[in-house]
Amino acid sequence: MRPLRPTFIVGIGGSAGALNAYKTLLASLPANTGMAFVIISHMNPEASSYLAEILTKHTEMLVKVASMGMPIWANHVYVNPPNADTLIENHTFKVVSPRTERNKEIDLSFSSLAEAMGARAIGIVLSGYDGDGTKGCKHIKAKGGTTFAQDPSAEVNEMPLHAERAGCIDFVLPLEKISEELQTLASKPKIKI
């Protein structure tokens, strides 16, 4: 079967404590939502990342590490490479290495997602320290997209709380409820991108 463009692109940002959240969220999602999922995780720039391999065990969707020019397909999961800004343009990745700023990867990715997808952009802020993701969620909201923050179930709740307090979050939910709401959004009638 030929891959399809996603109805929505879902940016998922996390840092400390987010690995279990990624696993739980992906495990609770069906493999045929028509959405694409892009995980932007803070990681040491010198580290080798096994995130794609780890997450493959928790979803039936294909999980890949994003690379320059890679097309974004529905029902796929993509993870950012270490020491890179992972941006989205015209349903493809623009990967810029080395990253431009430490712990701003989520904001940069979500902002590019907002520009690329408009009302079809979704941002989710999960467990982590500091406030990365808040500016990106503001951008998604300004373009008509939808935003989520993990509720107090987050192992480290600074990032989701920062976004929530900034007033740019539509839904503050536990992971299973985020999955349910994503499935509801996926089933809505198509709108023009």
Task: List, by residue number, the catalytic residues.
Answer: 15, 42, 132
Nearest alpha carbon to residue 124 among 89, 92, 77: 77
CB contact at 8 A, 107 and 134 = yes
How far apart are the two ends of the chain, measured CA to CA in Å? 23
How big is the CA angle at 171 (ends 169 and 176), to the nearest 5 degrees?
Answer: 135
User: DSSP secondary structure string, 70-95?
Assistant: PBP-TTEEEEPPTT-EEEEETTEEEE
Nearest alpha carbon to residue 150 among 138, 167, 136, 162: 162
75: Cα separation from own chain's centroid: 13
Sign of the torsion angle spanned by Cα atoms 44, 50, 54, 59: positive
CB contact at 8 A, 70 and 1 = no
CB contact at 8 A, 160 and 124 = no
